[in-house]
Each structure stands twice: as C-alpha cells, then as structure tokens.
Chain A
C-alpha cells in the first residue's frame, strides 16, 4: 500500500492552515479593494498592506520549517505527471507567497507612496521613485495575484481529489485526521474500508 506514512509536522500544519486563511483572505481583499469606490476601498487597502507583510514573514518561517523537516513523500503509485504537477505547484505557491508582498512593497515605493502599515508605522522604500517601474510592477502584482488564485484553485481541487477519490492519505497528512492517536499511519483496515467505500 502507498498510504502516506506520516503527517506533516504540527508546525507545518499550523502554518499551512493559518496561511491558507490569510492568503485566501488576501486574494479576495486584493481584487475587492480595487473594484469598489465605496468605504470598503480604504478599509481594505488598510488591511492589505500589513497583512501582506505578515504573509511575507510567515512564508519565510514556513520555508525554514519545510527545509528542516521535509514534507512526507507523495504516494509511490501517484502517476508521474501528477507528481510533477504537485511539486511544481507547491514551489509556485511558495514563490508567489514571497514574491507578491515584495512586488507590492516595491510597487508602492516606485509610485512614490509612503509604505504605511498603520497610521504611523512606515517601511522604507525598496525601489527608486520611477513611474515606469511602478506601472510594470503594478500590472505584475495583478497578474501574479490571479496566477496565485488559479494555483490555489488547482491546489484545492487536487487536495479534494486526494481526499475524496484517491483516499491516499495525502489530504489527511495535512489535516491530521487519522493520525491523532495512531501515528505513524492509518491502519490497513481503515485503508481497506476506505477503498471499499471508494469502489
């Protein structure tokens, strides 16, 4: 059998679900704040900037956690294209988690805006005042944000595919379900009954 043999570390799981919530919130705030002229606009922009920096810091912590404690391997019987897609999409997610806040920060710097995280906390500029750079970075922020959303959708669909259709322990290695008292893996009988239900 190719059940995942161990779950993600508690730190990795905590970071995953916290960041899932923050990033999904961030994506909705991002598209929402530029699509309204109501009071929501300034309210959402006020959240977007500090939340982006929080995600940047969490992503760095998460990268360190991942390097120190590598994630459980994918099931050995997962078809190669799916394995490739899984690895590529995860590294894309990491790259975007780190790139998006940095691009946002650089974009505001290039636009000559003070990068305010609150009414008085200000970050220094990381790009010289340059309208051409602003325009490029501002468009990049939109397109990479949409790419991040699409990658998230694929990630969500794949997680549900593993959990509902393959039932191979990949989803539960992140939810922790079935691993609570029975470490390191779900018992063969559980897997067998799962397979029976699946068929």
Chain B
C-alpha cells in the first residue's frame, strides 16, 4: 500500500482488520447455518428427496421423485354452494364451475412400475378459480398416513431402502421402525386389508392432512376432505393378462363411455380431534358436507398432458382455505418444490442433470 496514504500500514491496523474479518466470517457463518450448509443434521428438502431417490433405487430423469407413475385427467368441479357456509373460497360459491387439471398416480419413484406393485392410488387436483387463485391438493386412497412428522417419514424411507445385498428392504430395519413408531398402527391396520385396486375410478381419495376453512365472519373450521366416487366398487383385483398399466387403460375405457364423478365430502372436526396428525383418523360420527361434484371428462398421458408440469403442492390454496398445524404440510410443500426443480431442470437439460426421457428406457 502507498505509504503516503492516510490509511497507514496494514500492520498498524491489525485490530481493525481482525474486526472486519471477524464480522464478515460471522455473518457468512450465520448465512451458512440458516442455509443448511453448516447444519448437516437438519432435515432439508434436498436430503428428504435424496432419500426418496435412494429408497426408490434410482433417478428417472424428468419424472416426479414420488408418485412418478401417473396419468393426466381433465374436467371441472361443480359446486352446490354448501361449502360456502364454511369457506369464502370462490370454488365453493353456489353453481360455480371451476376447471380442473388432475393426475392419478401410484406411489414410488419408478414411472414404469406395474400397477399391481403397490396397493395405494392417488388423486391430485388443481382447481383454477375464476379469480385467478388456485387450489391444489394431493390425496391418497387411504384414510390415514403412516406417520405424523417429516422426520418419521424420512426414517421410514431409510428403513425401506433396499439392502444392496438382497435388493430388498431389510425386514429387521422395517420391523424396528414400526416397533419404534406406534403412530403407524392405524395405517398398518388399513394396509393389511388393502389390495391393489383394478381402477382409479372406484376409489375414495382422502386429503389425509387437515386444513382450515375460513368463512365470511373470519371463523376457522378445521376440516379434512375426501373425494367419494359415484362409481361403485368393482372389488376386483388386478386384471389377469399381464398389462402392467391396467389403471390407465381402465381409465381410458371408462372415460370413452362417460365422465367419472366424485363428491367432495368435507368433514368438520370437533374440538379435541387430531387436527395436526395425519396418522390418526377422526371418529366416523363427524359432520360431513357434500360441497359438490368433481366431473372428470378426459385423460391424457402424463408425458404430453397438461398435468406434467404442475407441482401438486397441497399448500397452494385460495383465499378461504388455509393450512393447519399439521407438520407434514410444510414438508410436502418444501419437498415437492425440490422435486419439481429437479425434474424441470432435467426437462431443460441444464448442466449437471440427466436428460429427461419421454419413453421407457428398458430399465428393469
């Protein structure tokens, strides 16, 4: 440094330089901690999605990291006005018709998994309200979720991760997980009786998480909802003949004949009901409101259909519906966003991503 400068020599300012350096390091360290880089034990969305990929046994570029196998459906929701007593959301106004783009899927990260490989089906919907707001929801055809918290879900995924030696989950790890997580009892009770359905059309789909409806007086109503099918249960198991994609085929056949209809049934909580625990059912005696009919009129493959690029984040809600204290909801929002960025980056062929493929790639 120029000795004639009024700043003097660096040696004469050691204390000041140290203070400046310490300030910068401290602020950077705080930033690193909040951003998760210096918090290796925090459950971040990226770590949760990494574990999903590990449990699923690989990455299928361009596809969702969970519920990867699915099919788009289009239609509308016809409100009967009964929901408007509990929520000011435009979607519940009398005679309001709201366009819907939805997606049926099965859990897991493999978009080529046979439909019979898992006894769970899901329905995701995006309601595009006339006022420009949206309601997105992702539901499963089971009344309860296995666990109550994101951490427990992460541990479940770890327990389900295939053992490299056998290619299958280690039964001892799974057993230890369920033994250590008594909240899984209701789900385990359900799954014992569950069989892979032969159709998406005859299933009920539950919101699992609770939400809060907000009415015109600002009162909050904790609720869960489900889509109850008009189609009667066929009670048939997976069709023989070996088509691994029988669900999409069944959907095409049914929609070629007539639209498919579900009733949106909103269940109101009573004080004391678990409104922050998706692993526990509410008593069947709770009051329910039929808010209208979901009418699905057409279907399209997910590779080319309008559902492909929709992130069915269940916390995208219109005015009049809000999230509850259920800890799974923010975790779903954060993890879905991470998954959405990964697959759209793959679609964009950005550096560092595997290119998306739109056709099966003969992976076993």
Contact = CB atoms under 8 A, between A and B. Distances in A.
Do A and B come from the same complex?
Answer: yes
Interface of A: 2, 27-28, 31-43, 45, 77, 79, 111-114, 116, 119-120, 122, 124, 129, 131-132, 134-136, 138-139, 149, 153, 156-157, 160-161, 164-168, 195, 198-199
18 contacts: A27-B31, A28-B34, A36-B36, A38-B327, A41-B331, A111-B311, A112-B310, A120-B133, A134-B309, A135-B341, A135-B344, A153-B24, A157-B23, A164-B16, A164-B20, A166-B6, A168-B6, A198-B12
A129 B344 CA distance: 12
Contacts of B134: 113-114
A145 to B, nearest CB: 10
Contacts of B308: 131
Interface stretch (B43-51, B189-197, B258-266): B43-51
Contact of A122 (B12, B19, B28, B133): B133
B335 interface: yes
Contacts of B45: 34-37, 41
A6 B23 CA distance: 27
Contacts of B311: 111-113
B14 to A, nearest CB: 10
The bracket for how many chain B residues form the interface is: 35 or more
Contacts of A2: 6
Interface of B: 2, 5-8, 12-13, 16-17, 19-20, 23-24, 27-28, 30-31, 34-36, 39, 42-46, 48, 131-134, 150, 308-311, 315-316, 319, 322-323, 325, 327, 329-331, 333-335, 337-338, 340-341, 344-345, 347-348, 350
B36 A111 contact: no
B345 A139 contact: yes
A120 B348 contact: no
B327 A31 contact: no
A120 B319 contact: yes
B36 A135 contact: no
A194 to B, nearest CB: 9
Nearest to B16: A164
Contacts of A33: 334
B326 to A, nearest CB: 10
A136 B35 contact: no
A37 B43 contact: yes
A195 B36 contact: no
B40 to A, nearest CB: 12
A132 B349 CA distance: 8
Contact of B337 (A27, A34, A39): A34
B86 to A, nearest CB: 16
A132 B330 contact: no
